[in-house]
Structure 1
Amino acid sequence: MPGRLIYLMGPSGAGKDTLIDAAKPSLRELGCEVARRVITRSAESVGEDAHEVSVEEFERQAVRGDFALSWRANGLGYGIPAQIDQWLAQGRHVLVNGSRGYLSQARQRYPGLIAIVLTVNTEVLRQRLLRRAREDLSEIENRLRRNEQFADSAWLEEQQVVRLDNSAQLQDTLQYLLEILRQHGISAVPDRT
């Protein structure tokens, strides 16, 4: 049995990277790999544990077919390494930090993916974005408006996306993530014999 792709989305500042880091030990127990994204941004930038490359190197990797999924957002290129296909074929589950705007293309390639959107209360998100001080106030307001799109009930239902709220304690969010995965049949390390 091939593994399942877990496609985690959410606005910047929602806490995806923090949740992924906290979830890694539990995900390993479930036979789930966490894909490390390739991103075009400077090595000085703060954020997720990603492999950062130049725009030119990103383009070379894309042309070589090094990415299972890739997209552009917020002026950056994002790539999910093609290695995930090998993991999935081996029966491993794979969690990727995905993009809302790329969900339909990802679903075309991986029809059985589990789509999860991490949302957060607008005021909590505003405080997080202000604390991390990566953007000016107008950029923060734009992100807050985009955040509201992630919680749109019609979009969630139409796209069959599970909403995961991260406005409270990280441990609560982690437990709910694991419950979502159990509900989708990911509850034990796949048998690799």
Structure 2
Amino acid sequence: MLDEAASSRPAGRMIVVVGPSGVGKDTLIQCAAEHFKDHDGLRFVRRAITRSASAGGEDHESLSEAEFEARERDGGFAVSWAAHGLRYGIPRHTLDQLRAGLCLVANGSRSALPLFRQAYADLLVVNVTARPEILAERLVARGRESREDIMARLQRGSLTVRGDYHVETIDNSGAVKLAADRLILLLKDALTPSISE
């Protein structure tokens, strides 16, 4: 239950980071999380994923298909979607955090943006891109797909966000620090309204 002081604060903002596999979303989010680790007004959302916790990548809550379905059925997610054979969920408690005036950062998906817009009134989309040849190199290095599958997916995919969203784009083709600094600056800007209230 939120206290009266919390309910009188301005609503927070959801910042969802999207982009294709291999573009470096996890790395940029980790850099930003380290930068803001002592900031009280910003939280980084820990997603639930039907993937083993030992699979690498982002820090997430690992759920079985049955556990995910049960939580989804019980209303435990504000947003949930499926992609690449996995299921992803954003915890429902994020809605309370936003009502308390916090800004949240979540790793999302372009395909799920309509669901994010339904769930969160104030939504900023950060679209991370990279040149196709850079994406291909990174995906090949992961060793999860063949080069042929990767190239076919990149050719049929688009790096743009379609729809009427507030979108900021970060090109992560070069040095990670440049893209991370850009994300950090965007998050500082997003925090400014809540700081000035």
TM range (shorter): 0.7 to 0.9
Runs of at least 4 residues off by over 4 Å: 188-192
Alignment identity in percent? 37
What residue in structure 1 maps to residue 168 of structure 2? 162
Deviations 1:54-80 (A, max 9, x none): 111100110111111100111111001
Q: Is the 8 Å Cα contact of residues 44 and 105 (structure 2) preserved in structure 1?
A: yes
Residue type matched to 1:24 in 2? A
Secondary structure of the equivalent of 1:24? helix
Tell me by how many angstroms 1:134 deviates.
1.3
Deviations 1:144-191 (A, max 9, x none): 235x51237xx37x44321111111111111111222344x4238758
Q: Is the 8 Å Cα contact of residues 19 and 109 (structure 2) preserved in structure 1?
A: yes
Q: Is the 8 Å Cα contact of residues 14 and 106 (structure 2) preserved in structure 1?
A: yes
TM-score (ref. length: structure 1): 0.87
What residue in structure 2 maps to residue 186 of structure 1? 191
CA distance in 2, matches of 1:191, 1:87: 19
What residue in structure 2 maps to residue 2 of structure 1? 11
Q: Is the 8 Å Cα contact of residues 101 and 194 (structure 2) preserved in structure 1?
A: no
Extract unaligned runs of 5+ from structure 1: none
Deviations 1:10-32 (A, max 9, x none): 11100011111111033343721
Q: Is the 8 Å Cα contact of residues 30 and 188 (structure 1) preserved in structure 2?
A: no
What residue in structure 1 maps to residue 3 of structure 2? none
Q: How does 1:1-193 map to 2 (within 5 A)?
A: 1-28=10-37, 29=39, 31-145=41-155, 148-151=157-160, 155=162, 158-183=164-189, 185-187=190-192, 190=195
Residue type matched to 2:144 in 1? R
Secondary structure of the equivalent of 1:149? coil
Secondary structure of the equivalent of 1:161? strand
TM-score (ref. length: structure 2): 0.85
Deviations 1:37-62 (A, max 9, x none): 11112344222111111111100110
